[in-house]
Structure 1
């Protein structure tokens, strides 16, 4: 199953890597309902269960991938694309 991430929630902390500010990611279920999972839940789903997630806009569809900081903190980012914006951090806040 593939999901499209539609929104995020961030904490207000100061992070060296801005992707670490993401606490939750939202996506629309097949029933049309907003589902929110923590960053770690989505990370584990992609890494351990071969889940596939995307971020889309009017111009492109970019795959969400797992990453870790040098001290082992797990986070999500998107594959490189032609956009200069941060695809995940550009998403609106989940309600």
Structure 2
């Protein structure tokens, strides 16, 4: 069974392409900060090691792996085709 983690922050590159912009996701679990590269988070979801979610404004959304033009990226289920929910999170320290 996958370990469930809340993503509460991200790091972004200078890229303008929203599908390639997130470099890292992170949060706090049991009082400790965690942070993973987006590629690592994608692999962990695909391997069912971790599942991720966001909670913004009282709305909890699962984070899933999507692909556009052969590029895998993370998005919330509620985003349909844009990763805006994740992109709106604050920067990770």
TM-score bucket of the superposed structures, by smaller chain: 0.7 to 0.9
Structure 2: gaps spanning 5 or more residues: none
Q: Please give the alpha-carbon distance, in whole angstroms, between the structure 2 residues aligned to 1:86 and 1:14.
A: 13
Following TM superposition, the consecutive aligned residue runs of length 4 or more in structure 1 with deviations greater than 4 angstroms are none
Gaps of 5+ in 1: none
Residue of structure 2 equivalent to 1:80: 78
Query: In the TM superposition, what are the counterparts of 1:17-56 in structure 2 within 5 Å?
Result: 18-30=18-30, 32-49=31-48, 51-56=50-55
Q: How many residues align?
A: 88
Indicate the structure (1 or 2) with the bigger Cα radius of gyration. 1
For normalisation by structure 2, the TM-score amounts to 0.84
Return the alpha-carbon distance in structure 2 between the equivalents of residues 42 and 6 of structure 1. Answer: 14
- CA-atom RMSD, angstroms? 1.7
- Structure number with the higher strand fraction is 2
TM-score (norm 1): 0.83
The residue aligned with 1:92 is 90
